[in-house]
Amino acid sequence: MTTTRFAPSPTGYIHVGNLRTALMNYLIARKAGGTFILRIDDTDPERSKEEYVDAIKQDLEWLGLHWDRVERQSERLDRYAAAADTLRDKGRFYEAFETPVELDLKRKKQLNMGKPPVYDRAALALSDEERAALRAERGQGVWRFKLDQARIEWTDGILGDISIDAASVSDPVLIRQDGQVLYTIASVVDDTEMGVTDVVRGSDHVTNTATQIQIIEALGGTAPRFAHHSLLTGPQGEALSKRLGTLALRDLRARGVAPMALLSLMARLGSSDPVELRTDMAELIEGFDISRFGAAPTKFDEADLFPLTGRYLQSLPLEAVAGRIADLGVPEGLAGPFWMVMRDNIETLHDLEGWWTLCRDGADPVIEDDDRAFVAEAMGLLPEGPFDAETWGAWTGAVKAATGRKGRGLFMPLRKALTGQAHGPDMAALMPLLQVVKAR
Ligand code: GLU
């Protein structure tokens, strides 16, 4: 039975970077008919905020990434304490008292000597008396997991065969001085006890994974399958980390990005399969294959979301947007024709507003100097409204006969006079929607 989880820390909003993690875990679970858990990693009481928990849920719901159940790490602290006891009993857990400043100094010395900055395990050599003295002087220490200094190997679902020398990694701190349990052990306990079979996360977690595999084994569990997706970069390959704040899902949503456009892009970006617009989740699930993803950094360009959203909107029937169109004030009788004409001319639903304003109030005409007399003459030939599907053809026919103009020289000045722009819907289809012509 396949079980996956998306495990955000509620310290901020979901952005395109962690969306990838959420989506891949979701798709794996759904494709296998398994379980998708939303796990809130809230062991840090200072940084975790309830408003972010709510926001994460709203964002996932907006996308249609429904979870089967929610787990919260803050409700499982007793489980982590029990696991810590097990590690202690097995001689895999030790208390260390170095201050951050001391650790920093050690690292600098090691680097100066050309050595990797790995914790030197000085605390392991402490006698009981020394330990008691340090505790009396400094209070509780941190608790570190004693790595077995062998190679840690796994076959990664994206990166392939991985081998990490545990001797090149510091024994991870699992419990802080103030007693706070850290993600590394909490996650392992949860993954094991919740039967998680597949963990997909960002490649910034690769070293974590190595240590977690040893912790899982020390606790008598079986490691899940791991896959680490590459980090997203901007379109030029630049780091995206600083900009992720502006790429929060709620911002993209406010800018009109359609969920299926965003999901379609993220389910394929960085894989050898082309990005294809999917209009429903079942197709997205069907077409997903994690083994197609590569290790190279993945370029993300938010601009790609808008044409994809536009294409998604083109596929929608009036019913899907009727409420939104009614909210604009489009009379019911015009809603159908309005949508049919405009859906091919928008990137987001926000664009409808401008088009409706144009239809309702008319546009400020744009008239080139050379065209003034021509447009004035044409306006004299424009019939009284309301216009219908024949109006454009009949009118331009009459203008052509009267002025001798044809082709672009005939049509473009009229389009610009009526709509104020050089591009837009087919004029024959637009005319019946035009309530006002300011150029008259
Ligand atoms: N809370 C961790 C994070 O957001 C979860 C990582 C994981 O998937 O194990 O980085």
Please report the DSSP string for 12-52 in residue order: S--BHHHHHHHHHHHHHHHHTT-EEEEEE----TTT--HHH
Residue 329: which of 359, 363, 309 has the closest Cα?
359
Per-residue pLDDT for 245 more than 80? Answer: no
Confidence (pLDDT) at 312:
97
Cα of 91 from ligand 1 centre, angstroms: 27
Mean of pLDDT values over 163-186? 97
Q: What's the pLDDT band for 260 if we cut at 50, 70, 90?
A: very high
Record the pTM.
Answer: 0.93
Q: For ligand 1, atom 5, which residue shows the shortest CA distance?
A: 7
Q: What's the pLDDT band for 243 if we cut at 50, 70, 90?
A: confident
Q: What's the pLDDT band for 239 if we cut at 50, 70, 90?
A: confident
Residue 94 is given by DSSP the state: E
Query: Judging by beta carbons within 10 Å of its beta carbon (0-12, 13-18, 19+), is residue 254 exposed, middle or buried?
Result: exposed
Cα of 357 from ligand 1 centre, angstroms: 46
Atom of ligand 1 nearest to the CA of 5: 8
Lookup: tokens for 347: 């990137």
Confidence (pLDDT) at 222:
96
Classified as helix, coil or strand, 299 is strand
* 179 phi-psi bin (left φ>0, alpha ψ -120 to 50, beta other): left
Confidence (pLDDT) at 369:
97
Domains of the chain, each with CATH number or no CATH: 3-71+185-231 (3.40.50.620), 80-175 (3.90.800.10), 241-313 (1.10.1160.10), 317-433 (no CATH)
Ligand 1: residues within 6 Å at CB?
A: 7-9, 41, 183, 187, 201, 205
Cα of 205 from ligand 1 centre, angstroms: 8
Cα of 266 from ligand 1 centre, angstroms: 19
Mean of pLDDT values over 115-131? 96
Q: For ligand 1, atom 6, which residue shows the shortest CA distance?
A: 7
Residue 12: which of 47, 60, 58, 44 has the closest Cα?
47
- Give the rounded distance of the alpha carbon of 68 from its chain centre: 20
Q: pLDDT tens, 35-72? A: 999 999 999 999 999 999 999 999 999 999 999 999 99
Q: Calculate what percentage of the chain has a pLDDT beyond 90.
A: 97
